[in-house]
C-alpha cells in the first residue's frame, strides 16, 4: 500500500492514482452536480440499532471538507438515537448517470450549535416548520394531523423568526476509509480505497 502525506497536490487522469481522497471527492461531486437530474448530494446512511441490526436510509449531504461529511436530522429519529448509542456510520453515494460510487465510513460526532443554527436558518420557511412539527420516526395517525401541526406553527410564528428546536441538529462523519468505484465494461470496474493513517492516507487499488 502506498503511503501518502497530506498536502501532496495533483489529480491524475487515472483516478486510481489520485493522492488526495478529498480532492478526488470534490471533483466527482462537482461532476455529479452537473450530470445528475436530482439530488446529486443524496447518500445512503447506514447505522446500527441497539440489537446490532443494521439500518439504512437516504439523507442529503450538506457539507464536505477534510473535517468530514455533514448531514442534519431530528435527534429523536431512529438514526439520531442509533448514532447517540453508537457514533459510527457508513455512507455511499451512487451517481448512475456517471457510473460512479463513493463509500466512506468512520466515527460520527455532533456539529456545533452554531453550525446547526446557520444551516437551519438557511432552509426554506416551510422546511423549518416541518422540522419542528415532525416527530420523526414516531407513529403518525394520519397526514391531516401533521398538516394541522404545521399550520398551527405557521400561525404561531407568523412572519417572525423560527428558532431551531433542540431536537434538530447535525452530525459529521470523519472517514477513516474512502473508496471510489467507477463502472467498467464486462464488470472490470476500477476501485481505489484510501485508509486514514497517522500521516496522511494509505492507498490501495482493489480488484473489482
Q: Show binding-site residues.
A: 57-62, 72-73, 79, 101, 119, 123, 127, 136-137, 181, 187-189, 191
Q: Is 160 exposed, middle or buried (0-12, 13-18, 19+ CB in 10 A)?
A: exposed
Active site residue 196: no
Q: Map 141-152 to HEC letters.
A: CCHHHHHHHHHH
User: Which residues are documented as binding site for substrate?
Assistant: 62, 119, 123, 127, 187-189
| Dihedral-angle region of residue 84 (phi above 0 means left; psi in -120 to 50 means alpha; beta otherwise) | alpha
List the one residue out of 6, 12, 7 whose CA is nearest residue 24: 12
Q: Which of 5, 125, 128, 187 is catalytic?
A: 187
- 156: which residues sit within 8 A by CB, 6+ positions away? none
Whether residue 72 contacts residue 168, with contact meaning beta carbons closer than 8 Å, is answered with yes
Residues designated catalytic: 187
Amino acid at each position: 500500500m502506498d503511503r501518502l502525506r497530506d498536502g501532496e497536490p495533483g489529480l491524475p487522469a487515472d483516478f486510481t492514482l489520485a493522492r488526495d481522497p478529498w480532492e478526488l471527492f470534490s471533483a466527482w461531486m462537482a461532476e455529479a452536480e452537473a450530470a445528475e437530474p436530482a439530488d446529486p448530494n443524496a447518500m445512503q446512511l447506514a447505522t446500527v440499532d441497539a440489537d446490532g441490526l443494521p439500518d439504512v436510509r437516504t439523507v442529503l449531504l450538506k457539507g464536505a471538507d477534510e473535517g468530514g461529511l455533514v448531514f442534519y436530522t431530528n435527534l429523536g429519529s431512529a438514526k439520531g438515537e442509533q448514532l447517540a448509542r453508537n457514533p459510527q456510520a457508513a455512507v455511499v453515494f451512487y451517481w448512475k448517470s456517471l457510473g460512479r460510487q463513493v463509500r466512506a465510513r468512520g466515527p460520527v460526532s455532533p456539529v456545533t450549535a452554531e453550525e446547526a443554527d446557520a444551516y437551519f436558518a438557511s432552509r426554506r420557511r416551510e422546511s423549518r416548520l416541518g422540522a419542528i412539527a415532525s416527530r420523526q420516526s414516531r407513529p403518525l395517525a394520519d397526514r391531516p394531523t401533521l398538516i394541522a401541526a404545521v399550520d398551527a406553527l405557521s400561525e404561531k410564528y407568523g412572519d417572525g423568526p423560527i428558532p431551531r428546536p433542540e431536537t434538530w441538529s447535525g452530525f459529521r462523519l470523519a472517514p477513516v476509509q474512502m473508496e471510489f468505484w467507477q463502472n467498467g465494461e464486462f464488470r472490470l470496474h476500477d476501485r481505489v480505497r484510501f485508509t486514514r493513517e497517522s500521516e496522511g492516507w494509505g492507498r490501495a487499488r482493489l480488484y473489482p
